Amino acid sequence: MSETRIDRRFKALKAEGRAAFVTYVMAGDPDYQSALAIVRGLPAAGADIIEVGLPFTDPMADGPAIQQAGLRALAGGMTLKKTLHLISEFREDDDDTPIVLMGYYNPIYSYGVDRFLSDATAAGVDGLIVVDLPSEEDRELCLPARAAGLNFIRLATPTTDDKRLPKVLANSSGFLYYVSIAGTTGAAAPSPRDVATALTRIRKTTDLPIAVGFGLRTGAQAAEIAKIADGAVVGTALVEQVALGSDNADAVKRVLGLAREISAGIRSVKKT
């Protein structure tokens, strides 16, 4: 594959001596324009890579906060086509920040894989995380995505043993997303000691950067992960700020405010 924005960003961060701040927000939550304002504001708030969630009716890996965010987006008329349009609008002002679409295969399958990859590439998408497509199904989307120049990012979990890990890593690119806890998004806080042990084992098998997510809510927690990982992923805590907002404008401010706080924690950790 040719070098992608994701590859370039991790290379630059390694030279800078710090971990990536990877944010997750739901497309269309609380509405299209507010979601666009959030995505546009995240780079200035410290986000290095932005994961944009695809709203789906049956998000089996997600906890209540992200499930509710997806339902709010769907109720507001958000679709995969509109999500790609949101990213293309973001790209009008930002050609550098990597964008990863994260979600489930059903909406992509319904849209049509070839059409989706063509439109996603044109919109400025850099990578995909499709949580319900295992490596055994790489011909469905992973291999076509790679051929289209998109990184296909896999998830590894505490239950991914040494026998399974090479299969997870097969055809993966961009980075590996390590799910720090067993369970759904936002379920509990990770143990830095357990994460460090897992990453030591995984790094024996891959040179891909490893970003750690699930359960990170504060700058202090993200800083602890930044000491041992190549990136810290925060999603549920940001998505929760939307529901806590008194109105849509306040929701945008709350999300970006928390992003700045967490970014400061990550940036306080310098690696040698």
Any idea which residues carry the catalytic annotation?
51, 62
**For the residues of 113-174, what is the DSSP string, one character each?**
HHHHHHHHHHHT--EEEETT--GGGTTTTHHHHHHTT-EE--EE-TT--TTTHHHHHTT--S
Q: What span, in angstroms and rounded, lies between the C-alpha atoms of 85 and 82?
A: 5
Q: Tell me which residue of 65, 56, 52, 202 sits closest to 129, measured CA to CA.
A: 52
Q: What span, in angstroms and rounded, lies between the C-alpha atoms of 227 and 193?
A: 11
Length of the chain: 272
Q: What span, in angstroms and rounded, lies between the C-alpha atoms of 195 and 183?
A: 15
Q: Tell me which residue of 165, 179, 271 sits closest to 227, measured CA to CA.
A: 271
Structure tokens at 112: 């049509």
